[in-house]
Amino acid sequence: MATPAPLPLLLFHGLLALSLALGAHGKPGDHGNLTRQAFPPGFVFGTASSAYQVEGNTLKYGRGPCIWDTFLKYPGTTPDNSTANVTVDEYNRYMDDVDNMVRVGFDAYRFSISWSRIFPNITPYVVLYHYDLPQVLQDQYNGWLSPRIVEDFTKFADFCFKTYGDRVKNWFTINEPRMMAAHGYGDGFFPPARCTGCHFGGNSATEPYIAAHHLLLAHASAVKLYLCTMLIMPESTFQAQQTGKIGILLDFVWYEPLTPSMDDEFAAHRARMFTLGWFLHPITFGHYPETMEKIVMGRLPNFTFEQSAMVKGSADYIAINHYTTYYASNFANETHTSYVNDWHVKLSYERNGVPIGKKGYSDWLYVVPWGLYKALLWTKEKFNNPVMLIGENGIDQSGNDSLPGALYDKFRIDYFEKYLYELQCAIHDGANVIGYFAWSLLDNFEWRLGFTSKFGIVYVDRTTFARYPKDSARWFRKMIKNE
């Protein structure tokens, strides 16, 4: 069991939980009549993708293999046995996608730079790393399990800053480091598919924390390279020369207590700290959350004094990738020691037989708009009100949907409408959110789901790769352009 928090912490979380439970947020307007003018001046609307999921041409133009290429060679890795070798061929068709974004009225495109293109007419928000570790680094020294990765990632970042920094003013270091640590080294669901009892070996009790530690240090080292002011020539830093900003993308499901009991309140708090807090707490305060330190103890790596100083404050902004909300209840799984069992939490999708929200196509995705409001207000209160963006938000449909039916995605419009309304309320109540990126532009390759799940606001014909905007794209155009 987790050690109870001291009284001041109990009071803080009790008051915050009461505020969130009461839904004490303002009502800026009707969610059915959202307009761009309802958001602050300068608010950025964009859409998002990642290089591996959209580019294709994985075997051409000198590209080396990454860990996902290797992983997908095993039959059954995706339900349809698909790979990303071609995906939606954005490598050759990126101008069509830029044209679609311009027509909708999006301000920005968030994409990863692994082998990316720099797009005209749309402001780029570039992610240095989105899951696709070069296989050679995994083969040489086990990738994120080795401290050597920090230096190599920093060299990669240095190359990107030098090569693209004159055009890129908005950087993210890493997308969803928690997902890579938890699924790459905790349950083997993502490459390199390591975990206790996995075919490739591993230790679910230690390796997720080691990988996460190196992900944090790599992030902070790249940020230091970009931001650090030289005493002799301060004007020589990347940020000073290129006038850009840099941050990180963190996934955050909102965890709502299943019951009002103190046990479940603490369970929900642990779930939040073992997910968002795992990374944002060090970035804000220079060390891991006390909740994690007390439970994980010696299995949790320590920061040196120099590392703590480097990690603390290592972001101009934080992007939150948010899709859904779960109930959390107190539960101790003592069958084996692992990252997920360390939470002492049971997650559920319903309370007293009532689902937490309408289910999307994916089993894990429920439509719970108020969860976004609570997630943003909790982050505001817990982590000193950082500058935030919504880095991903969206809902999927079946990959079997075909033309013309696939274009009539009213359920997706309803999702965006309700989540953007809650975002608007969170901003009204003090959350410092400056932008929103819908996931995703295209019906692209969705990792372990292959092409059986489609999140796009643009349908892609799998034979011709022709693009067809869905009703949700037209809705965004009307909302952004007020047409």
Catalytic residues: 176, 392
CA angle 43, 391, 461 (to 5 degrees): 105
CA 317 to chain CA centroid, nearest Å: 13
User: d(Cα 135, Cα 117) in Å, to the nearest integer?
Assistant: 21
C-beta separation of 86 from 70 below 8 A: no
Q: Which residues contact 122 (CB under 8 A, 6 or more apart)?
A: 46, 98, 101, 102, 106, 107, 108, 109
User: d(Cα 170, Cα 172) in Å, to the nearest integer?
Assistant: 7
**18: part of which helix (H) or strand (E)?**
helix 7-21
CA angle 370, 249, 95 (to 5 degrees): 100
Cis previous bond, 440, omega within 30: yes
Token representation of residue 73: 């060679």
Q: Which residues contact 126 (CB under 8 A, 6 or more apart)?
A: 110, 111, 112, 113, 116, 160, 164, 168, 170, 171, 172
CA angle 171, 228, 245 (to 5 degrees): 25
* Backbone φ/ψ region at 211: left (φ over 0), alpha (ψ -120 to 50), beta: alpha
Q: 250 pairs with which residues across the strands?
A: 320
The DSSP result for 418-455, as a single string, is HHHHHHHHHHHTT--EEEEEES-SB----GGGTTSEE-
C-beta separation of 93 from 216 below 8 A: no
